């Protein structure tokens, strides 16, 4: 038989079970969002750096080299290659990227777009001791 104190205890435990969720939501709200940027490399050297965090609208630019051209578009918080004169067009099929660590590559033109966190000082690796 369930008594009124059993119901009160169950209600109290149920309320206490939501405390961790509230703490996680509060800490996520108080922490700063990392600043994300896209770095465009040509032949291994930095060609252009584009901030993605908070970017609104569309930015279009073309990278021209002796090997050919790539047209890159920054749309809101994403970046991608939309046109190229390479033979296979795999770089266009990669689509838009926006997460840190993501890359878009055009091998025939030696072009690399890498998404990085602007405040990242060390790579996310675990050293093997």
Nearest to 109 by CA among 77, 79, 71: 71
* Domain boundaries, given as residue ranges, for the chain: 1-31, 36-117
Quick one: 119 exposed, middle or buried, by C-beta within 10 A (0-12, 13-18, 19+)?
A: exposed
- Whether residue 103 contacts residue 88, with contact meaning beta carbons closer than 8 Å, is answered with no
Looking at domain 36-117, its CATH superfamily turns out to be N-utilization substance G protein NusG, insert domain (2.60.320.10)
pTM: 0.67
- Read off the pLDDT of residues 60-93 as tens digits, 9 standing for 90 and up: 999 999 999 999 999 988 999 999 998 888 999 9
Nearest to 79 by CA among 106, 99, 108: 99
Average pLDDT over residues 20-48: 84
Structure tokens at 127: 């050293």
Q: What is the pLDDT of residue 84?
A: 93
- 87: helix, strand or coil: coil
Q: What is the pLDDT of residue 128?
A: 65
Pick the more confident residue, 74 or 128.
74
According to DSSP, the residues that pair with 39 across neighbouring strands are 49, 114
- Read off the pLDDT of residues 5-31 as tens digits, 9 standing for 90 and up: 888 899 999 999 988 888 888 776 666
Mean pLDDT of the chain, nearest integer: 86
């Amino acid at each position: 038989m369930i008594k009124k104190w059993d119901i009160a205890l169950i209600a109290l435990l149920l309320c206490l079970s939501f405390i961790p969720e509230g703490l996680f939501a509060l800490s996520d709200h108080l922490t700063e969002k990392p600043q994300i940027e896209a770095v465009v490399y040509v032949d291994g050297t930095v060609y252009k750096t584009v901030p993605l965090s908070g970017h609104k609208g569309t930015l279009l630019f073309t990278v021209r080299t002796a090997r050919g051209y790539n047209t890159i578009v920054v749309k809101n918080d994403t970046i991608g290659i939309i046109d190229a004169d390479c033979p296979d067009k795999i770089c266009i099929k990669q689509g838009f990227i926006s997460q840190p660590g993501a890359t878009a590559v055009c091998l025939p033109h030696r072009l690399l777009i890498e998404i990085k966190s602007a405040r990242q000082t060390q790579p996310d690796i675990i050293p093997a001791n």
